[in-house]
Amino acid sequence: MISQNQKKLLEKQHYGLVGKHSSVKICEWTKKSLRNQGVCYKEKFYGKIHGIKSHGCLQMTPATYFCPNRCLYCWRATDKTEANDMNGVKEDEPRTIVDGAILAQRKQLTGFKGFSGTNMVKWKEAQDPTNVAISLTGEPTAYSKISDLITEYKRRKMAVFLVTNGLFPKHVFGMDEPSQFYLSMDAPTKEIYKKIDVPQFSDFWERFNQTIDLMPSMSCKTAVRLTMVKGWNDKNIDDYVRLIKKTDTDFVEVKAYMHIGFSQYRLPMDAMPTHSEVIDFSKRLNDKLGYVSKDDDARSRVVLLAKK
């Protein structure tokens, strides 16, 4: 369960708490979309595929304070996370979480109603989200009922994006598949992974590779996301290519680390690549990977590669 101190920190950071271990937070791009100030790169990249809209997105996690990694680039307070799965926690049921998450989202949206810049058509549509990003904080697949959670969102006709670090392959194997499965690939080798992701599991590399091995059998769309930290994980292209090819993924996102939140205490500002540096790395990666350079977004410093 979330402790009182943890709750205070979360509430200070504008998280909406749901049940014993879940939470919701309105994405900055959802806020921008409500004000007609643009949409996130996920809508730009995948909107036509999955019918997603930034203003209709619910950003949530069923495992707020459970994550086996303490990544240097993470904007969260990773020193306060539980580095294990949720064994010993009496987990909330998926339907309870989904109901609570939507209500928490509506509560957070209330303040936008009286703001003169709010598009009220979008605001009304946002009351019943059409897509969910199961990521936000913690590691979502630490929640043992992640498959049933996906099923519950799909039952409500919502597009489901699941983002994972891949360290709970036992919960990924045989699960009800989301609309799009995201694997964070932050390092190309075991040694670099240990330095940048600071895993708390001794068998982290074996777990990660088990999830990689599961991906080719998935029928849903899949994506591999590389978060590039300048001077830390922006080399070893051959090793990245080897791992990505094993996933047989539909998409590869190459994205810059952003110098925000608690990561500012762990990494210097110059660890954040420029958009041109992300583009350059993507080109060198794709020279050996052989995908198609599909799109990019300078605001988020991200490049999309798609399988031919």
pLDDT over threshold 80, residue 87: no
Distance, CA of 3 to CA of 289 (rounded, Å)? 45
Is the pLDDT at 7 greater than 90, yes or no?
no
**What are the two backbone dihedrals, phi and then psi, of residue 23, each rounded to the nearest 5 degrees?**
-160, 165
The terminus-to-terminus CA distance of the chain in angstroms comes to: 45
- Average confidence (pLDDT) over 32-54: 96
Checking if the pLDDT of 15 tops 80, the result is yes
Domains by residue range for the chain, with CATH? 4-306 (3.20.20.70)
At residue 52, the pLDDT reads 94
Going across the sheet that includes 159-164, the strands are 16-18, 22-24, 57-61, 131-134, 159-164, 180-184, 221-228, 251-256, 302-306, 292-297
Q: Select the more confidently predicted residue: 65 or 241.
A: 241
Q: Inform me whether the pLDDT recorded for 92 exceeds 70.
A: yes
Question: Rounded distance, CA 283 to CA 296, Å?
Answer: 12
Q: What letter would DSSP give residue 21?
A: T
* pLDDT attached to residue 10: 84
Summarised one tens digit per residue, pLDDT across range 199-225 is 999 999 999 999 999 999 999 999 999
15: DSSP letter = P
Contact 24, 105 (CB under 8 A): yes
Q: Are 20 and 2 in contact (CB under 8 A)?
A: yes
Task: Please tell me the predicted confidence (pLDDT) of residue 177.
Answer: 98
For residue 270, pLDDT beyond 90: yes
- At residue 82 the predicted structure's pLDDT band, cuts being 50, 70 and 90, is confident
pTM of the model: 0.94
pLDDT band (50, 70, 90) for residue 11: confident
Confidence of residue 21 (pLDDT cuts 50, 70, 90): very high
Instruction: For residue 108, count other CB atoms closer than 10 A to its CB.
Output: 17
**What's 176-202 look like in SS3?**
CCCCEEEEECCCCCHHHHHHHCCECCC
